[in-house]
Amino acid sequence: MAREFRQMIPAASAAVLVAALVLAPLGAVMIRAGGLSALSAADLAALRFTLWQAALSALFSCLLAIPLARALHRRRFPGRGLFIAALGAPFLLPTLVAVMGLLAIFGRRGLLNGALDALNLPGVSIYGPWGVVLGHLFLNLPLATRMLLQGWQAIPAERVRLALSLGLGPADIARHLEARMLRAVLPGAFLAIFLVCLSSFAVALTLGGGPRASTLEVAIYQAFRFDADPGRAAALAVLQVALALAALGIAARLTLPPGFGAGLDRVLPVPLAPGLPHRIGDALILSAAAAFLLSPLAAIALRGLPALADLPAQVWQAAFTSVWLALGAAALTMVLALPLALAAPRHIWAEPAAMLPMAASSLVLGTGLFLIAQPFVAPTALALPVTLLTNAALSLPFALRLLLPEVRALQADYDRLADSLNLRGLARLRFLTLPRLARPTGFAAGIAAAFSMGDLGAISLFSDGRSQTLPLAVYQLMGSYRMDQAAGAACLLMALTFALYAACDRIGAHADPR
């Protein structure tokens, strides 16, 4: 009993720290809010737009992901693995860099409007409600595609072999196998993207174009920065938390377990849908997806690289600040995630404790921490520590989800052997646990560092202009219409983000003994 209690101390300490970091700001927000009567008509309009854009963004992401994931599942071509990895780049991309890339293609002076102008056709504007939806589609289409692709890959090859042996064509396979998989996976994918888009801030702030396309997160920011009204900001934060909790509850009820059972991990016997029309259709889908998802990245690199040499000194200082914040947030995320992941299979409270930050966004947490700190110290003095803490907390659920399957496999495979060798405590951690978890730990740390590099939430509330991160510097350059320097800073942000992610992932893979 005493040994079990000692083993539980690190996880319990992490759970208490996470609960304090999330619940204390939420409590401060609810106390300060004093009810929802402080909300104005503009705030209710922001609520309606938040729900509208989140629903449409999730719907379009899922609908377009279906043919893309299906084409990736059916086709084998040289570089397919690299192509799938590259499609995931927008998911790690800092939001402001994504916005810069979209402006390079769809902006007033972008490639699309240049081509339309050359053809004497009317141009298009990316600013407004549909621009927000387009930005979310760019960021979330890869996530939906990866979720659906995993669903297709989970269909055992034996089921496909049986269907082919019975003479079923592509339409019959779609009706009897693929439709069943989609019914299981699509609700979870839709709600996951809906939840991400509920807390949209940077996309709505830069592409919204005014009050007509303002989300709750933008309204919180405006209440703080422009109206100096913490009570209204707190009321909006309460509304935001209520929406997130409702979406999480619906997601938990609608997510279905896989229903195909286990297979023998055999490779599919022949290419599915081998006919020429199907091959042409899949090639067109893959080409269109590559053009939509990769051309903004190429455009920002082409425009930003020449401007790197002309970046002002404060941008480089902001880059240095962002890097050490990202490394600190990644380290803190893993310090919290590892003990909670190791405790989750044995203690029912560990997993909910790690998922608790999903109830709040960085602006909601920042609002609560601002209200707590305000009576004792100038909040601007805490800009960087608060940014580090909120980034670590918000990365924790993703880190836990990456670690938990490996932890369960580790405990199932090696617990009895380790107990028989009396391998306990630090020795067990050093010689068994950390080496076997090195790969997912490096991957999770890379994800946490990438998320932290791109965050524009808490720092925008607390910063007085002297404490800057690189995303905030990019936003200020965009606001002052120094677009070439903004593109250079965005290019630097993109390079540093992918470098940190790749370094963490590489260190984890190198430390794995397998």
Query: Which residues, in sequence order, are CB contacts of 79 under 8 Å at separation 6+?
Result: none
Per-residue confidence (pLDDT) for residue 100, from 0 to 100: 84
Query: What is the pLDDT averaged over residues 119-141?
Result: 87
Mean of pLDDT values over 95-111: 84
DSSP 264: -
Q: Is residue 186 within 8 Å of 255, Cβ to Cβ?
A: no
Q: What is the rounded distance in angstroms from the CA atom of residue 9 to the CA atom of residue 407?
A: 18
* Those residues with Cβ within 8 angstroms of residue 385's Cβ, 6 or more apart along the chain or in another chain: none
Share of the chain above pLDDT 70, in %: 90
Of 66-75, 162-171, 239-248, 440-449, the poorest mean pLDDT is in 162-171
Average of per-residue pLDDT values in the chain: 81
Q: Give residue 514's pLDDT.
A: 63
% residues pLDDT > 90 (the chain): 10
Q: What is the set of domains in the chain, with CATH numbers?
A: 1-32+311-513 (1.10.3720.10), 38-93+127-306 (1.10.3720.10)
Q: Look at residue 253 in the predicted model and tell me its pLDDT.
A: 67
The predicted model gives 28-55 an average pLDDT of 78
pLDDT band of 123, cuts 50, 70, 90: confident
Give the H/E segment covering residue 500: helix 483-511
Predicted local distance difference test score (pLDDT) of residue 331: 94
Residue spans of beta strands (DSSP E) within 355-506 = none
Instruction: Check whether 506 has a pLDDT greater than 80.
Output: yes
Q: pLDDT tens-digit profile of 312-366?
A: 888 899 999 999 999 999 999 999 999 998 888 888 888 888 887 877 777 778 8
Please write the tens of the pLDDT for every residue from 224-242: 777 777 777 777 777 777 7
**Residue range 280-304: mean pLDDT, rounded:** 87
Is the model's pLDDT at 299 over the cut of 60? yes
pLDDT in tens, 362-421: 777 887 888 888 778 777 778 888 889 888 988 888 888 778 878 887 787 787 887 787
Contact at 8 Å (CB) between 198 and 247? yes
| Tens of pLDDT, residues 471-480 | 888 888 887 8
Give the Cα separation of 273 and 281 in Å (integer). 11
Residue 433 belongs to what H/E stretch? none
Residue of higher predicted confidence among 1 and 238: 238
* DSSP string across 443-461: HHHHHHHHHHHH--SHHHH
pLDDT computed for residue 288 by the predictor: 92
Question: What DSSP line would sit under 175-231, residue for residue?
Answer: IIIIHHHHHHHHHHHHHHHHHHHHT--HHHHHHS-SGGG--HHHHHHHHHHTS--HH
